[in-house]
Amino acid sequence: MVNWVVPENTPSRVKAAGKRIRSGQFDTTDILVMENWRASHAYILNTFQTTLRSRARGKTITVAQRLKRRNTIFDKLVREPTMQLNTMHDIAGCRLIFQNRSELNEFRASLHRTRSKHKRRYPMEDRYNYIIHPKSSGYRGIHDVYEWFVTTPFGSNWNGLHVEIQYRTIYQHAWATAVEAADLLTTSRIKFSLAEQRYTRFFQLCSEVIARAYEDQRSCLPELSNLELRHELSELEASTGLLASLRDVKHSSEQFAFKANTILIRHTGDAARVRLEVETYDNINEAVERYSVLERQYGGNADIVLVRAKDEMNVRDAFRNYFSDTNDFVSYIDEGQRRL
């Protein structure tokens, strides 16, 4: 039986811990507050992914979930000065990957029609629809944020916590995976638009190629003609060699005895020879506790994530960046340029 972690601190105490973490003046108690806050999202995350997996049954949809990494929480608090730990809405995240946009839109619309008491944030604004409004980085996808709300005595322990549902097509997912792999290759922060301009521009151009060639859409550079797009991408590849590097990355074929809860440990270093460790657990509480131990043990010397999926293939598909699998991205760019 799973003994789900419940929030032990008030939102104001969690907020205070987040502020101290941001300023770098935190103590052990603040870390314990943050760890409990993160761990308490496991229950609502598991409940949401169970619902999503049930609705995806019989369809070609990858469904996975993850708790936000400790270092990523710290980093987000520093990068976004107005962000508060108690309202950070993506500590718990579910990822769904679809074959195309029409299947994505149909599934999402169906989910919106359910009579759930959980509150979808910003339902009229569609604030996080980055397919209609791509990010300047080239990121495309849709994020829905739900606030947990139930009336049962047990479930109400988690009322007010948030979970983010992330929708991507296989093309959008391939781009996002390649960005994270390139960050490892170049020791840059392309994902957060904090890298050299030529790396940022490369992925903007790649996003535009994929959007036009495969999804009949424009991305973040709609003003470019197809000829200008191909020409600039060719010039940037000549100067950066990014596509060639991603083509040469050897993805991990690490085999593991699958269990419901998987911890992926990617050791930083030479991305072409990245070392991946995998630990699996039947019990979510054991996995969450081990997750915290590993993060403290490795600090910034490893990229660690706790995920949950129905089988090994779903883990590999949803978290391809941990397995250094950029094959689809490379083929999409090669073929996409020929299509334009």
Own/partner pairs, 147-154, CB within 8 angstroms, 24+ separation:
147/118, 147/119, 147/121, 148/44, 148/118, 149/117, 149/118, 149/119, 150/117, 150/118, 151/117
Taking only the tens of pLDDT, the chain with its 340 residues reads 678 999 999 999 999 999 999 999 999 999 999 999 999 999 999 999 999 999 999 999 999 999 999 999 999 999 999 999 999 999 999 999 999 999 999 999 999 999 888 999 888 778 899 999 999 999 999 999 999 999 999 999 999 999 999 999 999 999 999 998 888 777 777 877 777 899 999 999 999 999 999 999 999 999 999 999 999 999 999 999 999 989 987 666 666 788 889 999 988 655 445 578 899 999 888 998 999 999 889 877 888 999 988 888 888 898 887 777 899 999 999 999 999 9
Residues 303 and 239 placed together within one structural domain of the fold: no
Domain presence at residue 2: no
The whole domain housing 191 covers: 176-250+327-339
Residues 22 and 160 placed together within one structural domain of the fold: yes
> Alpha carbon of 301 to those of 5, 60, 99: distances in Å?
28, 36, 35
Residues 105 and 237 placed together within one structural domain of the fold: no
Residues 184 and 257 placed together within one structural domain of the fold: no
What does the pLDDT read at residue 20?
97
Residues 118 and 234 placed together within one structural domain of the fold: no
Domain presence at residue 1: no
The domain that contains 101 carries what CATH number?
Answer: 3.30.460.10
What does the pLDDT read at residue 225?
98
Residues 35 and 61 placed together within one structural domain of the fold: yes
Residues 63 and 212 placed together within one structural domain of the fold: no
The pTM of this model reads 0.91
Residues 19 and 50 placed together within one structural domain of the fold: yes
Residues 187 and 130 placed together within one structural domain of the fold: no
What does the pLDDT read at residue 252?
62
Domain presence at residue 181: yes
Q: Per the structure block, which two tokens stand in for 63?
A: 């469904």
Number of domains in the chain: 2
Residues 149 and 285 placed together within one structural domain of the fold: yes
Residues 296 and 194 placed together within one structural domain of the fold: no
Residues 36 and 133 placed together within one structural domain of the fold: yes
